[in-house]
Amino acid sequence: LKANEFDDPTFVATVATEAAYNHGEEWLEQAKAYIEDNIRFIEQYCNQYIPLVHPIRPEASFLVWLDCSALNLCHDALVDTFINKAHLALNDGEIFGAEGAGCMRLNVATARSVIADALEKLRLAL
């Protein structure tokens, strides 16, 4: 629970979740469509501008794993690139186990402009 940041929900999050389940079907459909478009945007952007970064399509969430193994950076260099060069604070894959090595986790449940800005920062840093 701690690694996925589910260990301490706020009161507002609990109320919002209940309201979404009881009254949010239309909102949920719109949100899922927007998130799917964000995922497609990330795939297209990486394919065109950052081909060494391979987005891994989520199966049931809004978290895209960015496989950066083709960059051939050690863990510390990868984290340094994202944090100190691109100024992006993503979760590094290794906190989820050895299988996450070479990956960074990107939350895509946000405005597309935020994602576009983040990807542009990453492109420039690389």
The 3-state secondary structure of 27-58, one letter per residue? HHHHHHHHHHHHHHHHHHHHHHHCCCCEEECC
| Residue-level pLDDT at 3 | 73
| Residue-level pLDDT at 12 | 86
Tell me the mean pLDDT per 10 residues along the chain, length 126.
72 84 92 97 98 96 96 96 96 92 96 98 97
| Residue-level pLDDT at 109 | 96
| Residue-level pLDDT at 1 | 66
